Amino acid sequence: MRSSAFAVLLVLSTAGMAQSVPPRFTLEWEALAAHIVARLDLQAGERFLTVARPGVFDELIPHLRYEVMKTGAVDLGVIDVLAEPVPAEWSEEVLREAGLAARGALSDMLQSVDASIMLPGTNPTHPAYAALQDILRTQRGRTVHFHWLQNGSAFPLPGQPLPPAHVIETTYQQALLGTDYEALAAHQRRFEQSMRSGEVRVTNPAGTDIRFRIGNRPVNFQDGDASTPRAERGVVLIDREIELPAGALRVAPVEETVYGTIAFPPSQWSGSAVVGLELTFEARPARSLRCLRKPARPPSRRKWPARDPQAVLFGSSRWDSIRCWRCRSRTPGFPTTDTERA
In a domain, 207, yes or no: no
Q: Where does a domain end: 127, 154, 181?
A: 181
Global confidence as pTM = 0.75
Confidence class for position 316, pLDDT limits 50, 70, 90:
very low
Residues 156, 36, single domain; the answer is yes
Residue-wise pLDDT for 10-41, tens only, equals 444 554 555 566 666 789 999 999 999 999 99
Strands 209-212, 259-263: parallel, antiparallel or unpaired by DSSP? antiparallel
Question: In terms of domains, do 287 and 143 share one?
Answer: no
What's the CATH code of the domain at 57? 3.40.1830.10
Q: Does the residue 211 lie in any domain?
A: no
Which residues span the domain enclosing 338?
A: 254-342
Considering the chain, what is the average pLDDT of its residues? 80
Measured CA to CA in angstroms, residue 42 lies from 49, 63, 114 at distances of: 12, 15, 9
Facing residues of 51 across strands?
79, 118
Q: Are residues 261 and 129 in the same domain?
A: no
Q: At what angle do helices 60-70 and 29-40 cross, to 10 degrees?
A: 40
Q: Looking at the 3D structure of the chain, how many domains does it have? A: 2
In a domain, 223, yes or no: no
Do residue 50 and residue 157 come from a single domain?
yes
56/303: higher pLDDT? 56
Cα–Cα distance between 76 and 33 in angstroms, integer? 16
